Amino acid sequence: MPETNQNLSTPTGPLDIMAIQGVLPHRYPFLLIDRILEIEPMKRVVGLKNVSINEPFFEGHFPGRPIMPGVLILEAMAQTGGMLLMDSAHRPAEKLVYFTGIDKAKFRNPVVPGDRLRFEVELLRSRQTIFKMAGKAFVENVLVAQAELSAALMDK
């Protein structure tokens, strides 16, 4: 993990799951993003989640009609946003992102096994260690969820 303001993203390509695990503390079954496609520092981030029938939540949500829980779509969106905030952090190995609020959440279409979620999260404003972001989730360019996310970047 970089110890300066060096950006996580590189011009040579996306961040894979190993790079994500080097930044976020989440692990199975709660690490809900698979790849970061792009980061524009302090502006926006684009991430992916491949939705598999093997996800543990599908066992009970719902038997015979598996639908990804909306709260987990928001969590994956928040993790994507967390990558944006950690990208700008000074000494990121010493930081954690704590989500402090979710506003204006809307769920527009169900997400089912086989879908690929693309998250687009944009920084709306920041004040010292407090951030507000707007997130959207798409499946094949169809908006399936959106929300405003608030977060704090704190020392571990």
The reply to whether 61 belongs to the active site is yes
Closest CA to 69 of 61, 78, 77: 61
Our separate counts of H helices and E strands in the chain read 2, 6
Residue 156, classified by CB atoms within 10 Å of its CB into exposed (0-12), middle (13-18) or buried (19+), is exposed
The end-to-end CA distance of the chain, in Å, is 15
Q: Which residue has the tokens 């798409």?
A: 138
Closest CA to 85 of 31, 23, 137: 23
- CA-to-CA distance for 58 and 43, rounded, in angstroms? 34
Catalytic residue from among 26, 44, 61, 136: 61
SS3 13: strand
Which tokens is 35 given? 């790849």
Which amino acids are annotated catalytic?
61
